[in-house]
Amino acid sequence: MNKISLAFSAALMMTTAAFAQTENEVPKNWHQLDKATTGYYGISLDKAYEFVKTKKLKSKTVTVAVIDSGIDTLHEDLKPVLWVNPKEIPGNGKDDDKNGYIDDVHGWNFIGGTDGRNVKEDSYEAARVYHKLKAKYGSLIPDESSLKASEKAEVEVYKKAQAKILGTGEEEGGPTVEELKEFESNVTHADSILQIAMGKKVFTGNELKALNATTDEIKKMKAALYGVMDRNKALDQTNKDFVEGLKDYVAGEVRKDDAKKNPPKEFRKEIVKDNEADINDKYYGNNDLMASTPFHGTHCSGIIGAVRDNGKGVNGIADNVRIMMIRAVPDGDEHDKDIANAIRYAVNNGAQIISMSFGKDFSPEKNWVDDAVRYAESKGVLLVHAAGNDAKNIDSADNFPNANYIDKKGRANTWITVGASGDPKNGGLTANFSNIGKKEVDVFAPGVQIYSTIPGGDTYGSASGTSMACPVVAGTAAFLLEYFPTLSAKQLKYVIEKTAQAPDIDVKVPGTADEMTQLSKLSKTGGIVNAYEAAKLAATIKGERKITKVVAPKVTKAPAKKKK
């Protein structure tokens, strides 16, 4: 999963003095601002709204599917914009619209069980692939001269998985699992002490900053927790959310380390109970969209469509949008079958744009995902995907899902891959974690220190990652489609990419200390998404989309599950 970018590993190796180095504050809505009038490298959203207002354009509702970890369905800034299935009666335990999914009022959860349990954590795809092929070929890579063509391709994947799990011996030194565990323990201990000092169990990093530490111990604990929260640009988050995020991160690293020796636990199989080897076995899951992991999906959804101008929290980018949540991404790597079915669910239920902030290094059933992507394109749906947070060049490094079809028959024409940009005032114009690619990354968009909705009903905070840049583009696409509803998915892609603005300064190459270059060397367009310029171009284009009332298709009722 392309998680929110975290610097826990780096922070572990740094001193308390380094923690004290803070970056300049930026406005909470910096990503929406206009460079010419404010100096911040945002998407010029206010100018875009002014433009459509001068054109006297009225908006039409656009449905955006967010394939993610879940959503806080009760959040004050999201509840009014949740997609509602018009043919489903809430809570009656029936499949009213006969689409195979019971009580799918606001979307569907493909990683849940019919008994109400949900997949929270899962293994990594590299581990799943490695141990599956190890069982077939053994620990040693077989002599390829004796293999069939199909087996040679499989062995190439095995080599990559083996290198990913066991390492190549050339990796730079980093924190060990034991060091990470110790780091987690120290941060957790500091948090427990600071809860007493603060006089409350839950507080934000900014509130902690204002704490007057009266003893050396409190000063030390404050420096430890505040330092790592500041390093991760998480001062708007609560200590509770941040520490839980740290625990999830460390747990993931522990699972990675364990995968070197042991086959990964089949978390999903024990709960979902479908036949994962059969893509046609698609009527599984439940309607619990919040589950126990709603942070990521809630944050992404708010970026797209949090209610504008209601005097609460944040303004989303699109002002007339409905968010359809499809839960398919655990804490770990998503499964190809769930992503394929999530895309099809979104398309079949009227989504016009799909936002996908997840990704992985291996995709054993990519053909299933490709078929779903082709289906989405055939129905005129735009797919927006996060480029990933590994500071790698995905022109050469594997990154899934992607626009390239595995059968070599072209690539998706309604797909946008998004890298993360920042601002010189919050760390640099390119995010130091963002993946790049002259061929594979289409555009950049703000993805550093993005303020949005987080679980808690009325809670907000900042997060960073290409996971945040992706919904910035999805939200911009939704805004454009609202006011220019005849634009096809291909035209939306064209408009967004054609008007991306090349920065007026060189940028740092992510993952390097000080290597500078032009953004055009790191992405196809060489630009940052700009809603205002996109709206101006959209106004000059004759749309190809026919305006029809969106109605969920009639689907034959799902066959009854066989008892096991």
461-471 tens-digit pLDDT: 999 999 999 99
Looking at every residue in the chain, the average pLDDT score rounds to 91
In angstroms, the CA 226 to CA 207 distance is 10
Q: Is the pLDDT of residue 75 over 60?
A: yes
Residue 224 and residue 216: Cα distance in Å, rounded? 12
Cα 61 to Cα 76: distance, rounded to the nearest angstrom: 20
Q: What pLDDT does 252 receive? A: 84
Q: With bands split at pLDDT 50, 70 and 90, how would you rate the model's confidence at 15? A: very low
Q: Which two tokens stand for residue 412?
A: 């998706």
Q: Percentage of the chain with pLDDT > 70?
A: 91
- What is the pLDDT at residue 141? 79
Fold of 28-123+265-538: Rossmann fold (3.40.50)
Residue 22 has pLDDT above 90, yes or no: no
pLDDT of 553 over the 70 cut: no
As a whole number of angstroms, the distance between CA 453 and CA 296 comes to 10
Amino acid at 267: F
Distance of CA 238 to the CA centre of its chain: 20
Would you say 370 and 402 are in contact if contact means Cβ atoms under 8 Å apart? no
CA distance 404 to 484: 28
d(CA 430, CA 436): 10
What are 181-205's pLDDT values in tens digits? 999 999 999 999 999 999 999 999 9
Encode burial over 226-265: b for 16+ CB neighbours within 10 A, e otherwise.
bbbbbbbbbbbbbbebbbebbebbbbbbebbeebeeeebe
Task: Give 537 or 252, the one with higher predicted confidence.
Answer: 537
For position 170, what pLDDT does the model report?
Answer: 52
Average pLDDT over residues 387-414: 97
Q: Rounded to an integer, what distance in angstroms lies between the CA atom of residue 409 and that of residue 10?
A: 41
Which residue has better confidence, 563 or 338? 338
Domain ranges of the chain: 28-123+265-538, 125-166, 177-256
Q: Decide if 229 contacts 242 (C-beta within 8 A).
A: yes
The predicted structure's pLDDT at residue 249 = 86
**What mean pLDDT do residues 445-455 have?**
96
CB-count burial class (<10 Å; 0-12, 13-18, 19+) for 84 = exposed
What gap in Å lies between CA 258 and CA 263, rounded to an integer?
8
Rg (CA), the chain: 23
Cα separation, 210 vs 235, whole angstroms: 12
Q: Residue 4's pLDDT is what?
A: 53
DSSP character for 383? E
Bond prior to 142 in cis (omega within 30° of 0): no
Per-residue pLDDT reduced to its tens digit, 304-347: 999 999 999 999 999 999 999 999 999 999 999 999 999 999 99
Structure tokens at 106: 């606001």
List 92's β-bridge partners, or say none.
none
8 A C-beta contact, residue 298 and residue 454: yes
Question: How confident is residue 169, by pLDDT bands cut at 50, 70 and 90?
Answer: low
Residue 23: the pLDDT is 42
Residue 353 has pLDDT above 50, yes or no: yes
Q: Determine the average pLDDT of the residues in 287-310.
A: 96
**Residue 153: exposure state from Cβ atoms within 10 A (0-12, 13-18, ≥19):** exposed
Digit-coded pLDDT (tens) for 24-55: 579 999 999 999 999 999 999 999 999 999 99
Give the pLDDT score at 536: 98
Q: DSSP states of 466-504 as a string?
A: HHHHHHHHHHHHHHHHHHSTT--HHHHHHHHHHTPBPPS
3-state SS assignment for residue 508: strand
Give mean pLDDT, residues 62-83. 98
- Cβ atoms of 302 and 453 within 8 Å: the answer is yes
Give 411 or 148, the one with higher predicted confidence. 411
pLDDT greater than 50 at residue 550: no
